[in-house]
Amino acid sequence: MAEQLELLTDRDYGALEMDLTVRESRRARRLILQLVPPHTLEVVVPRGTRPRAVEAFVHENRDWIARARAELAARLEHDRGALPRCVRLAAIGREVGVSYDFRSDRTPRWNDDGARVLVTCAADVPARAQAVLRSWFMREARIHLRPWLFREAEAIGELPERVQLRLQRTRWGSCSAQRTISLNAALLLLEPELVRYLMVHELCHLRWLDHSRRYWRVVESFEPDFRALDRRLTEAWRTLPSWLFASRRA
């Protein structure tokens, strides 16, 4: 996709503060634009798409891109170096206060006493404090999301061979042909019904590894409201905080 990337960095689309990246996807059936947290716009293209088609698609959607860039720029300015004082783990109904102890002579670490998380690290490196907080967050995701997935798996009657938990920018979850289900740890920030739907969605792929009508019939048998939940899940990317993702910038 190098040629496409060059096309998207000319005077019409490039040299702006917000990135506009291109990603090929074997699953994509059409060109789409999406927000990738925390501050990136992405064009997803089917494999084999011609560079000029990408350029034309971007040009046709330039007004949407301009609005999205303005939204992301405002969020970037607000979030720059932001350290949260509270984290709401909506999936499990827990709200956790966060405090910080900035001392350069201390090893970066966190301590969770059940009511509050204390993050200790050097004062001059906000990104390090965010990394420590992510470490705590991943611990919480492992504790709660993995057992939840297996409870849903038992109800559906399909068990994965392996479960992975990661912080991902473009997917809430995935299922491989080897029956490995990957969950985005950021699910912990979403409402319980969205988390359950995502798990049902991926577990049903253990039966049908596609998005055919037969697959969606299986999904609907376990979650009749899947269409509305799917739309809400797509919109939920906009709600994710910047500290959740390590910066890609040097």
**Mean pLDDT lowest among 67-81, 84-98, 120-134, 149-163:** 67-81
Higher pLDDT, 168 or 202: 202
Using pLDDT thresholds of 50, 70 and 90, give the confidence band for residue 180.
Answer: very high
In order of start, what are the domains of the chain with their CATH numbers?
Answer: 2-79 (no CATH), 86-244 (3.30.2010.10)
Give me the pLDDT at residue 81, please: 60
Closest Cα partner for 243 from 62, 8, 39? Answer: 39
Higher pLDDT, 62 or 193: 193
Using pLDDT thresholds of 50, 70 and 90, give the confidence band for residue 16.
Answer: very low
Residue 10, pLDDT above cutoff 60: no
Residue 103, pLDDT above cutoff 90: no
pTM score > 0.85 for this model?
no
